[in-house]
Amino acid sequence: MEERVVLVNPQDEVLGLMEKMQAHENALLHRAFSVFLFNDKGEMLLQQRAAGKYHSPLQWTNACCSHPRENESYLDAAKRRLQEELGISAELTERFNFLYKADVGQGLWEHELDYVFTGEYNGDFTLNPEEVADIKYISINELKREIEEFPQRYTEWFKIIWDEYRNHLEIS
């Protein structure tokens, strides 16, 4: 089954549907979400994308990010993907949304209206190997240092979303 994304204008008004790869090749604005999960120590969960991903393989990124389906809410989509990728359920809180555009290589672009959610999770995981190679919790200070020293280890969109997250939630 062909995966499609919901094309929107900057006001989040639906313009139509398009096959995901085509939207990424043409840098068309579409709906997306990003989930930031933390443990009870305040460490952030990162996932390493699976080696077989069509772009950004084996790079580290936030806990989960993807696209809502047609007629699916951002929150429902975020909860669905947590289950599909990490095998978990978590209570999520919507924090903010913003527009961004990132070149992810190979002629592909992420141009997204991204809704950002946060949650806490301290349990076990059941990773989907088609989506996730590995996971780790990392302190905020260690994450900042890692991104500064080794930016190539992180997805382009994560670096953008991380900056937005810190600006919106006033984290230095």
Catalogue the active-site residues. Answer: 65, 112
Kind of pairing between the strands at 108-120 and 30-38: parallel
CA dist., res. 167 & res. 161, Å (int): 10
CA dist., res. 157 & res. 123, Å (int): 26
What is the identity of the amino acid at 7? Answer: L
Token representation of residue 147: 């991104």
Is the separation of the CB atoms in 119 and 159 below 8 Å? no
Helices (H) and strands (E) in the chain, counts: 4, 9
